[in-house]
Amino acid sequence: MSFIGKLFGKKEKTPVSQCKICKTLLEYNEGYALTTSEVVSSKEYWDHKMVEPETLGYTTAHFKQKDANATKMRGIIFEKTAEKDQTWLVCDTCIKQFEVDTNEAKKHALQWWESKGDYNPPKSGDAKAVLEKDTYEEIKEYATMLAGANKIR
């Protein structure tokens, strides 16, 4: 901000965003940018996601009552997340759920901010189109059948 700007109390708007996972406020240049494939490949992400308030009911019914509809819902939650065409800006805490190169993820975040949210890291978009078929099926199986088990039993 220029001296004159300061003198007259003119504030430049600082762009802000939110962590795509926990909704924590992120200020300009904060956070890490991940692709949908990187997000859905993390078992830890699913262990958190499947015990959130919106998903906990299905997870409890899946493990305790062996409820087939609840299991199906967990599969649908996986698919809906995996097909998201977005860049995942995540905070310092949430990045710990992912085994990724954090320096790279930081660099992608800086480009994301610089482009005002238009930038997508390489291999962004629908995870089904990006991941190997076996990898996709393996993580889908984990998310649907096993994720969150530790927090239920």
- Position 102: which residue type? T
Nearest to 124 by CA among 38, 44, 51: 38
Residue 125 vs residues 1, 27, 115: alpha-carbon distances, Å = 37, 24, 18
Does 21 contact Zn ion by CB under 5 A? yes
Nearer residue to Zn ion within complex by CB, 16 or 22? 22
Contacts of 110 (CB under 8 A, 6+ apart): 29
92 DSSP 8-state letter: T
Does 19 contact Zn ion by CB under 5 A? yes
Contacts of 37 (CB under 8 A, 6+ apart): 123, 127, 130, 131
Within 30-49, which residues bind Zn ion (CB under 5 A)?
none
Does 25 contact Zn ion by CB under 5 A? no
Nearer residue to Zn ion within complex by CB, 21 or 70? 21
Does 94 contact Zn ion by CB under 5 A? yes
Nearer residue to Zn ion within complex by CB, 19 or 50? 19
Options 5, 6, 16, 22; binder of Zn ion; rule CB under 5 A: 22
Chain contacts with Zn ion (rule: CB under 5 A): 19, 21-22, 24, 91, 94
